[in-house]
Amino acid sequence: MKKAIKDQGRAPHTITLDGYEALHRAVREMKAGGFLPEDTNVQSSTYLNNVIEQHNRNVKSRANVMLGFKRFSFAAVVITGVELAYRIRKEQIDFAELGFKENHCARRLGGRPCPTMK
């Protein structure tokens, strides 16, 4: 965590952890040592690991079919594409910001315009 904070250049406002007690203890020690500000919020999510694993399941299923990648750059491109497709399917992209007209996107669903992205 110290390396992540150093790379970002600032401490996070909120940290969400799963139920693993060692992580909570580490954050308490970092606050006591002055590495994290005292006003940093620590949230606990019982199902955080389940949410992360569910999100990664789609990437894993596509990568396993390809029997691995020969180069790291190929893996990065494929995973980026899978993540993009996932965000499009979940309607997490605003196509209007990308230059498409409101309520329209590159492909049509059953002859209707694509739903407005959030």
Q: How far apart are CA 102 and CA 19, in angstroms?
A: 42
Taking the chain (118 residues) in runs of 10, the rounded mean pLDDT of each run is: 79 85 90 89 80 72 72 83 79 73 50 51
Domain shared by 60 and 29, yes or no: no
Domain shared by 60 and 110, yes or no: yes
Q: Which domain holds residue 11?
A: 2-46
Domain shared by 64 and 112, yes or no: yes
Specify the pTM. Answer: 0.44
Domain shared by 19 and 62, yes or no: no
Domain shared by 42 and 61, yes or no: no
> Number of structural domains, the chain?
2
Domain shared by 37 and 78, yes or no: no
Domain shared by 72 and 33, yes or no: no
Domain shared by 65 and 105, yes or no: yes
Domain shared by 117 and 61, yes or no: yes
Domain shared by 108 and 54, yes or no: yes
Domain shared by 84 and 98, yes or no: yes
Q: How far apart are CA 5 and CA 26, in angstroms?
A: 14
Q: What is the pLDDT of residue 86?
A: 77
Q: What is the pLDDT of residue 106?
A: 45
User: Which of 63, 3, 46, 1 has its CA nearest to residue 27?
Assistant: 1
Domain shared by 69 and 19, yes or no: no
Give the number of other Cβ atoms within 10 Å of residue 77's Cβ. Answer: 12
